[in-house]
Amino acid sequence: MENPALTKPAPPEDPVRIDGWIAPAIATVAAVILSYAALMVVLFAFMGPGDCDVHDGCSWGADTTLAVMGTAIRSIPYVTPLGLLVTWVLPWRSRWTAARRRATAFALLPHAVIAASLLPLLVFGS
């Protein structure tokens, strides 16, 4: 005979999210568009920062900002596909929603770094 006090209650079901594909799809489209835009922004940034001449070079702020942008653009081919792969591979269950959002943010992180570097480049580069 089973004692009802000793039985464990059944865990609640984790339903499949029908809208689980929306975040990966938006992130994929945004990553493709932003990757090309980031490449153009970084290439134009390296072409001509303000008052840099051959002997003195650029200011410390412009050099640092260009280094950050260069590192971010070189990390896009590695970070973005990895983050997008994780967003598509994770199960489409409710408990994986937060992890999927974090992977989406991770995939778009280099693009955000490049966008955030534009203002310091404008301030220090001129």
Query: Is 7 within the bounds of a domain?
Result: no
Query: Is 5 within the bounds of a domain?
Result: no
Longest dimension (CA), the chain: 90
Short-list 31, 41, 28, 32, CA closest to 114? 41
Query: Is 96 within the bounds of a domain?
Result: yes
Task: Compute how many other C-beta atoms are within 10 angstroms of the C-beta atom of residue 98.
Answer: 9
Alpha helices by DSSP H, listed for 1-126, are 22-47, 60-89, 97-107, 109-125
Query: Is 51 within the bounds of a domain?
Result: no
| CA 50 – CA 5 distance, rounded (Å) | 76
- Note the pLDDT tens digit of each residue in 69-126: 999 999 999 999 999 999 999 988 888 888 999 999 999 999 999 999 988 887 876 5
Query: Is 105 within the bounds of a domain?
Result: yes
Sign of the dihedral through C-alpha 126, 33, 79, 14:
positive
How many domains in the chain?
1
Query: Is 108 within the bounds of a domain?
Result: yes
Query: Is 11 within the bounds of a domain?
Result: no
Residue 13 has pLDDT above 80, yes or no: no
pLDDT at 50: 55
Task: Give pTM, 2 decimals.
Answer: 0.77
| CA 16 – CA 6 distance, rounded (Å) | 30
pLDDT at 57: 65
Query: Is 99 within the bounds of a domain?
Result: yes
- Note the pLDDT tens digit of each residue in 20-73: 788 889 999 999 999 999 999 888 887 765 556 555 666 777 788 888 999 999
Domain extent for 87: 21-46+62-125
pLDDT at 108: 94
